[in-house]
Amino acid sequence: MSKDIYTNPLIERYSSKEMLHIFSSDKKFSTWRKLWVALAKGEKELGIEITDEQIKALEENIFDIDYDKAREYENKFRHDVMAHVHTYGDKVPEAKGIIHLGATSAYVGDNTDLIVFKEALELIKKQLVNLIKVMSDFALKYKDMPTLGFTHFQPAQLTTVGKRATLWIQDLILDYEEVDFVLSTFRMRGVKGTTGTQASFMSLFNNDEEKIKKLNQFVCKEMGFDTDFTVTGQTYPRKFDSRVVNSLAGIAQSLHKFATDVRLLQNLKEIEEPFEKNQIGSSAMAYKRNPMRSERICSLARHIIANQVNPAMTASVQWFERTLDDSANRRISIPESFMCCDAILQIAINIASGFVVNDKVIHKDIMAELPFMTTENILMEAVKRGGDRQELHEKIRVYSMEASKRVKQEGKSNDLLERIAADPAFNLELSEIHDILKPEKYVGRAINQVTEFIEEDVKPILEKNKDLIGYDVTLKV
């Protein structure tokens, strides 16, 4: 690849080989040729004078694409479809006269886009299922490890490491359901003609509408689709592009939230993303372990979310049967959305497969806050032993303020428990107070919630998609 011109980082650094192939020139233009073959086959079957030899020649040259010649033709015609019609025709001169017969540019352009987008979304679904699998394994492994819960990023009631992971998975399940739905709505544009009226085919088949319907059905089936858009203009409805990219943006939202949580946890030193042996965190600060993969997810996810507006705007400004102001935008915004989504799913799988859980740090952070959270339990136990509830409540309030001042203003450890144990009014030994403070007593139903969630919500998805499970990720950077 030339080093003196700009190259897209999505290609060089982030997107997988599978996704890059789906949006490659070879995939696009060989699909154009497959569509021309399907059209010729259907027309021959319905009585148009096309020979088996012509179809055989077309089929034998589907993948033999002369890109230099196509570029020359496009410079001459300023029309990409006609450039490839002529390039294909030069390769198979015996069939040149029947290529693209009755069709308009959208026949190959739009049908190919739908084929490519569907294949790309199927890859996204596979990655999504594998991410859900990896995260569910993590959630089950750590379902009973207590950790501080946070609201407003302030310490709140305890949860467990596994329970927190289920919140990430729950978002991804919503995304899975959306992707699955969008895939179920894919259909071809079909054989519709210049403005969607099939007028050119009326001429070709001498106004035999049944033959036109059969041609449309033949081509759809030949290309692997059961249905098409019943009515179109020159193009399939651009609103469908918006539906597709919205499903990708949903994944971006979920993974941005996930990656942000990981970044915060890494700052707390509780859970970290994988850090390779020779990885450098900072060019200046050699000790640093930056959450660079999570940061990359956030960065690329924002691009998808921002791209969400492109197909929405394109759909909203189409004039009548079509305008061409959709074309340049779609060439950029939709493939880039897929490539970004492909990248962030790969990174998320990589992170979730190699989480570093620092259990001692997690416990230390719990014990720095738990004394404040469990004062009511201590109060109840002291009352059982004959203490005065109102008197003890006031003492706890005062001791809590003093302990908090010691932590925040003096930078010392939380000594609230020691203060309570030293006061005979509570009639509690320090060991008895510590028994009250066992973190596992304060996680509510978190452990069972994890088990129930995996059993009831996750396993049915994994079972339904067991043929998709098993996806190796190798990050380029």
Catalytic positions are 152, 282
**Which residues have CB under 8 Å from 398's CB, separation 6+?**
none
How far apart (Å, rounded) are the C-alpha atoms in residues 110 and 87? Answer: 20
Partner residues linked to 356 by β-bridges: 272
Give the span between the Cα atoms of 267 and 356, in whole angstroms.
13
Name the DSSP letter for residue 222: H
The Cα–Cα gap between 136 and 462 comes to 10
Query: If DSSP codes are grouped into helix, strand and coil, which group holds residue 77?
Result: helix
User: CA 196, 201, 205 angle in degrees (round to 5)?
Assistant: 155
List b or e across 228-262, with b for residues whose CB sees 16 or more CB atoms inside 10 angstroms: bbeebbbbbebebbbbbbebbbbbbbbbbbbbbbb
The token pair at 25 is 């020139």
Helix ranges (H only) for 209-358 are 209-222, 239-268, 292-307, 309-316, 327-353
Q: How many other CB atoms are found less than 10 A from the CB of residue 337? A: 27
